[in-house]
Amino acid sequence: MFEIAPHFNALLVFIEHRFYGKSIPYGGDKTIAYSNKTTLGYLSSTQALADYATLIIDLKNNLTAIDSPVVVFGGSYGGMLAAWFRLKYPHVTIGALASSAPILKFGSITSPYSFNNIITQDFKGESENCYKVIKGSWKQIEDMAKTKGGWEKLRKSFRICKNYISQGALENWLNTAFVYTAMTDYPTPSNFLNPLPAYPVKQMCKAIDDPKSGKDTFEKIYGAANIYYNYTGNATCFDLNDHSDPHGLAGWTWQACTEMVMPTDGNNKESIFPPSKWDYNERAQFCKSIFGVEPRPNWVTTEFGGYNIERVLKRFGSNIIFFNGQRDPWSGAGVLKDISKSIVAIVAKEGAHHVDLRWSSKEDPKWLKQVREREVNIISNWLSQYYQSLNEIY
């Protein structure tokens, strides 16, 4: 966005989502903001979109730029918001670039297995041995935890700091490393979630396949996890009880407990993860214990286009680019085919999570340069059509 704004002589505006960043109420006190049930109800995608519409209209009035066209951009949840904004407020924006936007992740629109299946294929595609080691490690961790001195062995193997750990905490820690590495499997070094090398999935599998790690499965898995958690080499041990929020996502727990209900299962026998089944009742109990509310699994589909949102977009929508990289686990719930002439799907086989929105680099592969070039061309066409219609009106 920073790079193409000068091309369009555009003003770049970042509108912060309510309840995040500096827009957290109560003077930024997260403890109060995320526990006060009276005001937490105002944290929703619907309210956020209304904020954006109000601010954009006011900004254009204040700048005496009533006729200036607006194009919205977003990645991940932001990509969902971008697509929904174009659908809900077509009079405010002429188009939207929705990158890695899993708008089909609700209810039974897409398979609940797709997320874990894509991660599995990412690692399996790099190395069959890497896949087998990760897949088999969970049972070995479970078995080791049951033995005398097993926890101490696990603690030392994974360089866990000397405090209480549980099997669930260790598994979640490893799961996070594999999930986020697959999401951010970028072709250049990145610092999106954690500092990572280019093609980090490949690097993880290299660590697992490295003969120097011997036959010790835990040493192999540690080598992989260390790439995600300690690529800089600064950490001496890992604190599994660190519940800090470095990415500022505490508000997402509320949203996931109210509207963003996206079922994910792991019962596919080929999955690198242990079997798991998404259970609404279990989720509802969790949300009720924390916030006193139950999830609304049908709200997003009710608010934003229904279970046949692709049909709705075809009938009522226009000017949306959906980008998805097929190495991104969220792509299984993304729009992967053109919906109409102006609602276009750009799919990159080697792409990761909203990679098209990252800063460009000399090391960017050809396919990524082509994706960005196509996006710019489409947006240019939207602008040309807008100005042509504007001239016809006046």
Q: Which residues contact 96 (CB under 8 A, 6 or more apart)?
A: 71, 72, 73, 74, 82, 83, 85, 86, 319, 320, 321
Query: Which residue is it, tokens 């926890």?
Result: 151
185 is known as an active-site residue: no
328 is known as an active-site residue: yes
Q: Using alpha carbons, select from 100, 92, 48 the residue that is nearest to residue 76.
A: 100
Query: Which residues, in sequence order, are bridge partners of residue 320?
Result: 96, 343
Q: Of the listed 45, 76, 271, 331, which one is catalytic?
A: 76
Pairing of strands 95-99, 343-348: unpaired
Contact 107, 301 (CB under 8 A): yes
User: Apex CA 206: angle with CA 205 and CA 211, to 5°?
Assistant: 120
Q: Using alpha carbons, select from 128, 119, 125, 253 the residue that is nearest to residue 181.
A: 119
In eight-state DSSP terms, residue 294 is -
Q: Of the listed 328, 331, 354, 356, which one is catalytic?
A: 328
Cα dihedral sign, 203-365-183-23: positive
The alpha helices in the chain, defined as continuous H runs, are 30-33, 37-40, 45-62, 77-88, 114-126, 128-145, 150-157, 167-183, 200-209, 217-229, 250-258, 280-291, 299-303, 309-316, 366-393
244 is known as an active-site residue: no
Q: What letter represents residue 192's amino acid?
A: F
Question: How far is 114 from 282, CA to CA, in rounded Å?
Answer: 21
In eight-state DSSP terms, residue 347 is E
Q: Of the listed 127, 185, 353, 356, which one is catalytic?
A: 353
Q: What letter represents residue 61's amino acid?
A: N
Return the active site residues: 76, 328, 353
